[in-house]
A and B are shown apart, each in its own frame.
Chain A
Amino acid sequence: MENQNSGWFSGKRPWLIGGAVIAIVVILFFTLAYPPANQEDLQGTIGKAQKYRAGQITDKDIVLKKPEYQKIIQSDKFQKLLKVDKIQKIALDSRFQEVMKEAAFVELLKDQAFAELLKDQAFAELMKDQAFAELLKDQAFAELLKDQAFAELLKDQAFAELMKDQAFLALWKDQSYAELMKDQAYAELLKDHGYVELLKDQAFVELMKDQAFVELMKDQAFAELLKDQAFAELLKDQAFAELLKDQAFAELLKDQAFVELLKDQAFADLMKDQAFADLMKDQAFAELLKDQAFVELLKDQAFVEAMMNIQE
């Protein structure tokens, strides 16, 4: 027994010990000496100056207040914007300053989507525009900007994209539209989700540049109508858009009865019907629509019901 167990170097033990030693050496090497420290990259004996250095301040020690804003401020687009005289004048406008104090607007401005929007070249161009500048100073628009719902709208990625759209931006610069934006009813409408969706439609954007339509948009009843989902769909239709630009039809649209009719799903469907759309594009029918008598007829409840029944 004694012989069998005698000696550290008998049997497999030497291999085990040797292996362990090698393993320790390897571990120590990789732990302490590899990869080589930077100064080991240097050739020969490059003496490093001895300098006392205590623990230093780190970024965690520095308390800053909303440093993320700097990312926006530093951008070239934003800096260019600030050099525009009109922007500077807006900045000094007391009403606009009041808006800026509103918590909702402040929150909006912190929003990433809106921040991106501010950096956008197209939006920057918009900010330079005189009409838009005037709009920004308007009391009603200022109120709108304070509104939480509108703030949410502005933060909406889709809306942000829309804001970058050249056609839409051109609309904002349009004097007629600027007037509309100041309208209280329209301001309410802007907060409506359905309407926001509608705003993204190119045809509708074109329509909104029309003076008569702008007048129509200011109407309370029509504003209500615009919030209607079905009507919103209808508005996106090109033919209907053309019709809407007509003065007589616009007058018709202001009528309460006709507005009620338009809100009707069935009638709305009719309006969206291709055949009906074609009909509406027809010059003669268009002329008919402008006819006062026909319009009166359209307002007639019985006639309307009849039309709806026909469709059914």
Chain B
Amino acid sequence: MPESPFGFYTLFSHATVAYESPCLHIRTYFNKRLPSSTVKTMTVLSTRRLTVVALFLLIGFPLSSQVTTQETANHRLLIYDRGHEYLVPHLIMSYENALQFHKKLFQYTPTEKVTVLLQDFGDYGNGGATAVPKNLVSVGISPFHYAYETSPANERITALMNHELVHIVALDQSTKADRFWRSLFLGKPNPTKEDPLSMFYGYLATPRRFSPRWYHEGIATFLETWMAGGIGRAMGSYDEMVFRTAVRDGAYIYDVVGLESEGTTIDFMVKANSYLYGTRFMSYLAYHYEPESVVKWVSRTEGSSRYFSAQFENVFGKSLDDAWARWIQWERQWQRANLDSIRKYPVTTHRQLSERALGSVSRSFYDSSLGKIFAAINYPGQVAHVASIDIRTGKIDRIADVKGAALYYVCSAAYDPTTSSFFYTTDNNKWRDLNVVNVRTGETRMLIQDVRTGDLAFNRADKSLWGVRHLNGISSIVRIPPPYREWNRIYSLPYGKDMFDLDISPDGTILTGALAEIDGTQRLVKFDIAKLLKGDTSFEVLYDFEISSPATFAFSEDGRYVYGSTYYTGVSNIVRYDFQMKKIEWLTNTETGYFRPAPISKDSMIAFYFTGNGFVPVSIAIQPIEDVSAINFLGQAIVEKRPVVMSWHLKPPTLKEFNPDSLVIFSGAYNPTRYFQLMSGYPIVEGYKDFAAFGFRLNFSDYLLLNELVLTGSYTPNQLLPKNERWHASARFKYWRWNFKATYNWADFYDLFGPTKVGRKGYSLGVQYREYLVFDEPKLMDYSFSLTKFGGLERLPEAQNITVSFDNFWSLSGKLSYQYTMRSLGSIEDEKGVRWQLLGYNNYVNGKHFARALGNFDYGILLPIHHSSIWFRTSAGYSLGERREPLANFYFGGFGNNWVDYQDARRFREYYSFPGVDLNAIGGTNYTKALIEWTLPPLRFRRLGFTFLYSNWTQLMLFSSGIAVNLDDDAVRRTYLNAGAQLDFKLVIFSTLESTFSIGYARAAERNHRFTDEFMVSLKLLK
């Protein structure tokens, strides 16, 4: 399956799912959830999550064991889980309502229906959208996470529809010229690395897709705010804080190129910076020019320029670079004014408790017996982990890694001081697991897999854990009694209400938390635990924070107060609620923001102080204060200066306007056969031997890209080639877990360049079956079997320089793979972990079997130097065949990269690579190989290039390896050593298309022989 090099455009950056290709995620999701033993047929029927089927059988929904669809004239809603059906009317109405708004605002005329997938892949709400090859929106129905108010708390389906449809319009809107290209290419071509000319075709058909993330997220978040009547990040407190802090600290604010090349990798917010900068820049433009101009910039109407930055100049009369620079200048003035406002009253002072900023942090706990704070932390360069911070020395010690850390809050956490147990959640961007680590010994245990519960609170009275569970878009308060192996539902809130940031009083009688309502208002509430356990869900409102979050309120030791933070004044300050006096007291006045307070005595507390590098633990004296100034919001200034944004408020849909019963024109099973269709087709150029071939490529798939068919055909007009080798064809069909592939005189685009040739004379016909045994990302285990018939060959399919004495054979192979690798924020690739593979081949030729087996084992450690790893890579193989038979041998040699390439740029890591000698120069029927590699930290470029072509980073790898072949026979045994280096530059073309330029050098020598050299230059196109 050619995967999108773009990923999805998303509503919320902490939803990592949304960065993946939708089809990949959907397919792997089903792979994970479906017990293999129950798969009887390879149909969509069998793809459903069986537990979900059972559920709805039991509660009485009419059963359909298929993905179902409900179609209106404008969209096609897909549901794979009947537990989500209750949302269907609301979603249909919200979609139609938002679409009507966007059609009017952007003068957008849809050319196709949008497929909307309703899903519950993660415990926190997220969305995604793409327009290529077809318009597709993914709607994650879980409640949002409100950490630091990075997400709004208003009704989420409405917010998602408003936001994602902006993406659809910005990506899909077309002029006559675009539509001409779409008709010529039989659709919207998706750039694919196999045929890189598709990049240009894609640009011609959907030009605005080739715009940076900040542009797409900026306009979507900006508009979403006004459509929601002022609730959103264009009016966001967190956004104000980030830029206010940058100005206060004199930190660098990235320019338009630097944002994508360095700004989205260097600090703990990584890609979320695209949202921050994009929204802020759009807001600035709306404030200084007109909000309508912002819409005009994004609109792809007749007369508009194809490229987003050219259209910017058309609309605003100046270059994007110039306007961006002016914005940064203005931003500094704006934030200085806010800082002056804060400083009208004494600013709270604190004592820093750690050596450095911790990046993002979870809830923290102070253990007075150990004098340490325990929290989960996540910052670029090191994998997220549970850590202890000694408050006397500031020393930070790693305790345990956190698998699947969330961007802003890392994980949910609770602490039992009597047993030194730190409870924490993993897989925080998917379905969360409950774990515990003993902070004294470091011993970790998983307690409940897929518990889907967070916002943990520990009840000291009975040692139970409490939390909020998310399922089917509903929040439920749950209790997890010792030994923490099962949970009990206490109270399920109605749809649209959500609880978060729970805490329990020291005597175990009161549970507090933030209660978010459908309209976005949030209140600090308390429940009587005894009553809750009896089913009485009544609660008392302690304080109404309106549209600010009552964040992370935690009890004091005496139970008299709960301490938390709020953006009430626009700045996050610490407040406390006094249960005796029944009132809120203000405790701090800060310039940036204080969060996650934890009182450690009657007169002092720990809190986390926001800096550009993340949160810093600090100690603050508890002293109520009387005066705190509010700051001004850019969003509010827009409202006052450009009141047109108030007219963009989208009122809720009514049944009178959008009655789902009358809108739905088809309801039934999602039949992948029915929806399997031609998505695009375009001319291609391929290489065959030393000649160019010209042909055409056709791409078929269903709307979810679950099943795909790719057909290519080409012809080499050169008379030097024998007639029977001039036609070339290939077919690839991916059907669920099956892959079918057929080739005839296989030609490949990259054979036009460089020494490596993958094209072969003859034909092949193969089938592969692949299935996951473990799918718990990043922990994966899978196996596959392949059977291929080759015919008419003149060279080995896997070794281009080895000619064969036969022209056809059968090949049967099997592979078992495992990997558990991790990476830190801002990483370029996996930085630590383990990976192994076992492979077996049997080639059957002229009545003879040639069986071979090999194993690979890689182990990597992350050095204290950020983003720098040492990897040990080993491999060994054995063949049962005779040494003189080419099929019985393993072959090694060379970097393996082509001058222009599409495979992994770091090919020297593969077992068959041996830089410094020629391709396939080393051969043998058995071998052992070992490689040690040091990956140095990447050097990131703040600005190297232009918006349409720039470089993000460069990274150097040093390696040395040794190989011995034919170990069983001294006469033919050969041993080689090499050492080399590879330097990669990441390039971005058209703002989104990533490529890698590599140069490499290696020197190798066989024992008692002279050295040989290899120099490699390669441009790897697309991801």
Contacts and interface: CB of A to CB of B under 8 A. Distances in A.
Interface stretch (B283-291, B371-379, B623-631, B970-978): B623-631
Contacts of B646: 52, 54
A82 B585 contact: no
Interface stretch (A17-25, A106-114, A210-218): A106-114
Given A43-B586, A46-B586, A100-B57, 6 more contacts: A44-B586, A46-B569, A49-B631, A70-B86, A82-B52, A87-B54
B478 interface: yes
A312 interface: no
A88 B567 contact: no
Interface stretch (A72-80, A239-247, A253-261, A280-288): A72-80
A61 B621 CA distance: 46
A83 B471 CA distance: 15
B156 to A, nearest CB: 11
Interface in A15-43: 38, 41-43
A81 B543 CA distance: 40
A44 B626 contact: yes
Nearest to A101: B62
Given A43-B585, A57-B158, A88-B54, A108 B625 contact: no
A70 B83 CA distance: 8
A118 B635 CA distance: 51
Given A42-B584, A50-B630, A51-B230, A74 B50 contact: no
B54 A74 contact: no
Nearest to B648: A54
A63 interface: yes
B87 to A, nearest CB: 7
A309 interface: no
A53 B585 CA distance: 26
A12 interface: no
B655 interface: yes
Interface stretch (A91-99, A156-164, A190-198, A290-298): A91-99
Contact of A53 (B476, B478, B518, B547): B547
Contact of A49 (B85, B93, B495, B630): B630
Q: Which of A82, A106, A108 has the most CB of B within 10 A?
A: A82
Contact of B50 (A73, A79, A91): A91
A94 to B, nearest CB: 9
A74 B490 CA distance: 10
A109 B570 CA distance: 50
25 contacts: A45-B628, A46-B586, A46-B628, A47-B628, A52-B636, A53-B230, A56-B519, A57-B519, A58-B652, A61-B652, A62-B496, A62-B652, A64-B87, A67-B494, A69-B86, A70-B474, A74-B476, A87-B58, A88-B53, A90-B57, A91-B50, A91-B57, A100-B62, A109-B59, A127-B58
Contacts of A109: 58-60
A55 interface: yes
Contact of A100 (B50, B63, B567): B63
A204 interface: no
Contact of A64 (B495, B585, B629): B495
A71 B583 CA distance: 35
The 9 closest A-B pairs by CB, nearest first: A44-B626, A109-B60, A54-B229, A47-B630, A49-B570, A56-B519, A61-B652, A91-B54, A52-B639
Interface of A: 38, 41-59, 61-67, 69-76, 78-83, 87-92, 96-97, 100-101, 105-106, 108-110, 118, 127
Contact of B38 (A53, A88, A100, A118): A88
Contacts of B158: 57
A76 B83 contact: no
Contacts of B494: 59, 67
A63 B91 CA distance: 9
Interface stretch (B129-137, B317-325, B481-489): B481-489
B472 A70 contact: yes
B758 to A, nearest CB: 43
Contact of B55 (A41, A55, A73): A73
A51 B35 CA distance: 51
B60 A110 contact: yes
A87 B58 CA distance: 9
Interface in B544-584: 544, 547, 567-570, 583-584
A62 B161 CA distance: 14
A69 B59 contact: yes
B991 interface: no
B211 interface: no
A57 B87 contact: no
B739 interface: no
Contact of B57 (A70, A73, A79, A96): A96
B635 A51 contact: yes
A82 B54 contact: yes
B97 to A, nearest CB: 10
Instruction: Sort chain B's interface into a size bin.
Output: 35 or more
B90 A64 contact: yes
Contacts of B57: 90-91, 96-97, 100
Contacts of B476: 74
> What DSSP secondary structure best describes chain A's contact surface?
helix
Interface string B602-643: 000000000000000000000011111111110110010000
B237 to A, nearest CB: 7
B53 A64 contact: no
Q: Which of B51, B65, B567, B569 has the most CB of A within 10 A?
A: B51
B231 interface: yes
Contact of B86 (A61, A64, A87, A89): A64
A52 B235 contact: yes
A74 B55 CA distance: 11
B649 interface: yes
A40 B632 CA distance: 21
Contact of A108 (B60, B547, B568): B60
Contacts of A47: 569, 628-630
B38 A92 contact: yes
A49 B569 contact: yes
A108 B58 CA distance: 11
Contacts of A81: 58
Interface in B58-102: 58-63, 65, 83, 85-90, 93
Contacts of B62: 100-101, 106
B520 interface: yes
A160 to B, nearest CB: 15
Contacts of B35: 88
A110 B38 CA distance: 29
Nearest to A75: B489
B569 A71 contact: no
B492 A71 contact: yes
Contacts of B519: 56-58
Interface in B199-241: 228-231, 235, 237
Contact of A82 (B51, B89, B230, B625): B51
A62 B653 CA distance: 9
A105 B52 CA distance: 19
B155 interface: yes
A45 B626 contact: yes
Nearest to A55: B229
B495 A70 contact: yes
A74 B474 contact: yes
A88 B630 contact: no
Contacts of B472: 70, 73-74
A103 to B, nearest CB: 9
A155 to B, nearest CB: 12
A79 B489 CA distance: 10
B60 A63 contact: no
Contacts of B649: 54-55
A56 B651 CA distance: 8
A19 to B, nearest CB: 34
